[in-house]
Structures are given as structure tokens and as C-alpha cells.
Amino acid sequence: MNKEAYIAYLKSRKSSHKTNYYLESLKEIEEIKKEFTDRKPRLLLHVCCAVCASWPLEFLTDIFDVTVFFNNSNIWPESEHDRRLSELKRYIEETGSKIEVIETAYDNESYTKMLEPMKDDPEGFERCWFCYSVRMDEAYQYAVNNGYDFFTTVMSISRQKDSQKINEIGISLSKKYPTVRYFTSDFKKGGGQVRQKELVEEHHLYRQDYCGCVYSYESRHRDES
């Protein structure tokens, strides 16, 4: 790990020169409503778990025809991956929505090999950025190949994830895939985390205590005997 780069990154997170992606999303919604007067635009939503998806789904389905994309082979072990997917499906069913869930094949071995060179990175640094990018890129490609109007991810709702970095990745991918627009977001703002807590409690959702990969698990549980 490049310690100087990490220190510089931590300082940048305290900067006041940040884009408020929540306000940007509200502006974008107003433009979308003006543009799509005869139908809801189709949005592919990358989802990592039911907890993170709860409020974004409630927020987005008023504006978009949403499809959920679950491509999270980073999650270790497989039983944890399956539990998060099952909880997501249960939540969607309990809310009475008809949202389709697209699942990709589980391949944690490949993800772990990709992340291994960055295994010593602290949580939230370059290993995590790489993981976000790989999953968002795969989901974005699916959106392009299947004629969606927009793509976004729920990950900006997490306090542990840098919404500036997540949106930077999304905006960069929109240049790679110009036929599908990236919907900017910071779902934790505007009361998002309060509503998320309410939904999690209402539906008794399983709340995991680590992000997903084996390295995040080991970091979280390092001091356990």
C-alpha cells in the first residue's frame, strides 16, 4: 500500500470542495420527468444487499422502471452471498413490487485473485475502489446490452463508502458506455439513512457486519479468537 497516497486520500475526504450528489440527483429527476412524459425510463440498479437497497428502491421506483442486478461474487463465503441475495428477494416480495432480479454466476475465486495484490489496503481504499469498478462495469455492460436508459448503484447509501469515489466511477463508465446514462446519487442524504433504518426494522432485514470480500471479513473479525 502507498501510505502517502492513502494519507492524501483521507485529507481529501475532509475537503469542503465536494459535489453534493444528492442535490444533483434531485435536479436530474426534474429533467427526467420533463423528458420522459409517456413512460418511466428503464434503470438497471446494481444492488449489494437488501439493507442498502431498501431506501434506494423506494426512492427510485417512483421515477424509474427498475430492474435489480445482483453481481457480487466479491462476497465471501458463498453462504453469505446466498443469504444476502435471499434477503434481497424477500424484501422485494414483501414490498409487493414486481421488480425483476438479475443474478450472475458466483465466482469468488476470480474476484479474490484480482483483489489479492491489494489485500493489505485499509477498508475503503484502492482495493475497494477496484472492486466497485469491476462490479459496476459488469452491470453497466448489461444495461447497454439490454437497452436500459439509466444505470446506478445503491452503494452510495453506506457511510463506509465514499460517494464521491462511487460517482466518479459511474461518471467515468458513462463515457465508456455513452448509450446508457449514469444516474448520480448519494442515497444516504436527504433523510435516506433514517428511512433505511425504518425499512430495515420494519422488514427485519439481515444486516451484515462487513462489506463482502474475505479481506474485509478478516479486517472486521481480526481480533476475534
| Residue 1 resides in a domain | no
Instruction: Residue 44: name the closest of 179, 210, 191, 199 by CA.
Output: 179
In the prediction, which pLDDT does 40 show?
Answer: 98
Instruction: Please give the DSSP secondary-structure letter assigned to residue 182.
Output: E
In a domain, 134, yes or no: yes
The parent domain of residue 80 ranges over: 21-220
The rounded mean pLDDT for the chain is 94
Angstrom distance (rounded) from CA 130 to CA 121: 11
| Separation of alpha carbons 73 and 70, rounded Å | 9
**pLDDT tens digits, residue range 178-213?**
999 999 999 999 999 999 999 999 999 999 999 999
User: Residue 3: inside a domain, yes or no?
Assistant: no
pTM of the model: 0.94
162 domain-assigned: yes
Q: What's the CATH number where 132 sits?
A: 3.40.50.620
Q: How many domains does the chain have?
A: 1
Residues shown for the chain: 225
Decide if 103 is inside a domain: yes
Q: Are 127 and 121 in contact (CB under 8 A)?
A: yes
On whether the CB atoms of residues 70 and 88 are closer than 8 A, the answer is yes
C-alpha to C-alpha distance for 91 and 199, rounded to whole angstroms: 9
For 92-143, what is each residue's pLDDT tens digit?
999 999 999 999 999 999 999 999 999 999 989 999 999 999 999 999 999 9
Question: Residue 208: inside a domain, yes or no?
Answer: yes
